[in-house]
Amino acid sequence: MAKIDITILNLFARYGLPFLIGYVILFHLWKPAYNLMKLKILTLALKSYWTKVYACNRKELEQLFAPLHEVAQEDEGRKETKLRVMEIGIGEGANFGFYPANCEVFGVDPMSAVEDKLRKNIVKHDGLELKSFAAVGAEDMSHIDDDSIDAVVCTLVLCSVENPQKVVSEVKRILRKGGIFVFWEHVHASNDKRVARLQWILNRVWYVLFDGCHLTRKTSEVIQAAQFTTHDFSTITLPVLSVISTTLFGSATK
């Protein structure tokens, strides 16, 4: 039995029912407050980081989402059929401004608290329709059929999922033949030994502080190992904290 559990039992034995009632009330008040605080901090940190991307790399962002626009225009049938887009780690929908019009959006995010703002945000974008949202990790998108999605969007997600290989496998499964996977992730700084060393030193602490985020993920290797038909990516260094400044962006086609 864990030490903390023994302490709680000892306190209960000493103070009886009043302690138990107080503990339950405190636990139920503290846990939601903690989760809300964590969500706020992570949302602000992510927003600050992504604002840097918007400010300094607008051209690259437009390039990142260009394949979605190309898929949307690839045949005359697209005028009648909406592009089906899955965004993993969808958050509040920060990327919607780069989507082509006429999209059915499917989203997954482990933080269920984002759903209300997500639904409010999507209605601000003409032609976008939220078909489904699931508060789950991207390792299991079993509610999405095989070969049913035209494009998958993934920004700043693979650094913090439990199993990136499984996520990419799921992405490939749900994409139709010829479907596109677009991604922008901070990654291991393999071209800068000083930063790479710092990433390894700080990785464990960073993981705890930022809800499972890894500084040392080699995402390009994960995507290459998934054996997409084609893949194309580049590395960009952002003007942010050095340990999260090296980013990988690009696309892969099933």
2 three-state secondary structure: coil
- Give ∠ CA 69-70-76 in degrees, rounded to 5: 100
What structural domains and CATH numbers belong to the chain?
75-253 (3.40.50.150)
- For residue 86, which of 135, 132, 140, 117 has the smallest C-alpha distance? 132
pLDDT digits (tens, 9 = 90+) for 108-130: 999 888 899 999 999 999 899 99
What's the CA angle centered on 175, arms 174 and 177, to 5 degrees? 130
By mean pLDDT, which of 18-22, 39-43, 85-89, 247-251 is the weakest?
A: 18-22
**Residue 239: pLDDT band with limits 50, 70, 90:** confident
Q: How confident is the model at residue 151 (pLDDT cuts 50, 70, 90)?
A: very high
Predicted pLDDT of residue 211: 77
More confident position, 67 or 113: 67
- Contact residues for 138 (Cβ-Cβ < 8 A; gap 6+): 88, 89, 108, 154, 157, 161, 167, 170, 171
Distance CA 86, CA 150 (A): 8
Which 8-state DSSP code applies to residue 104?
Answer: E
- Give me the pLDDT at residue 2, please: 44
- Residue 44 scores a pLDDT above 60: yes
Beta bridge pairs of residue 16: none
Residue 22 has pLDDT above 70, yes or no: no
Mean pLDDT (whole number) for 227-242:
91
Of 28, 30, 23, which is closest to residue 7 (Cα–Cα)?
23
Least confident stretch, 146-150, 173-177, 230-234: 230-234
Beta strands across the sheet bearing 246-253: 128-134, 103-108, 83-88, 149-155, 175-186, 246-253, 230-237
Asked if residue 4 has pLDDT above 50, the reply is no
pTM of this prediction? Answer: 0.82
The pLDDT tens digits of the residues spanning 160-188 come to 999 999 999 999 999 999 999 999 999 99
